[in-house]
Amino acid sequence: MSEPGGVSVRVSPLPAGFAEMLPGPGLLSALLSVSRGDCNGVELEELVRARRRLICWLEEGCLGDVVELAHTPPGLIDDPAVRVGPVDPHTPAVLEPLLGWTAYHADWYATLALTLTELPRTRTALARGDLEIGEVRVIAERLADLSTGADRRKVEDALFPDVLGLRAGLLRMRVQAQVIKVDPDAALARHRRRVRDREVEIYPAIDGAADLAVRGVPADQAAEAYGYVDAIARTMKQEGDPRRLGQLRADIATSLLSGRTHIHNPDPHDTHNCDRHSPDPHSPDPHETGDTNESGGCGDDACGGDTCGRDNGDGGRGRWRFK
What is the distance between the alpha carbons of residues 158 and 153, in angstroms, rounded to a whole number?
9
Residues 241-296: tens digit of each pLDDT: 999 999 999 999 999 999 988 888 888 776 555 554 444 444 455 444 444 443 33
pTM > 0.75: no
Residues 15-25: tens digit of each pLDDT: 999 999 999 99
Average pLDDT over residues 224-231: 96
What pLDDT, on the 0 to 100 scale, is given for residue 2? 52
Range with lowest mean pLDDT among 130-134, 224-228, 267-271: 267-271
What is the distance between the alpha carbons of residues 92 and 114, in angstroms, rounded to a whole number?
12
What pLDDT, on the 0 to 100 scale, is given for residue 6? 58
Average pLDDT over residues 185-211: 89
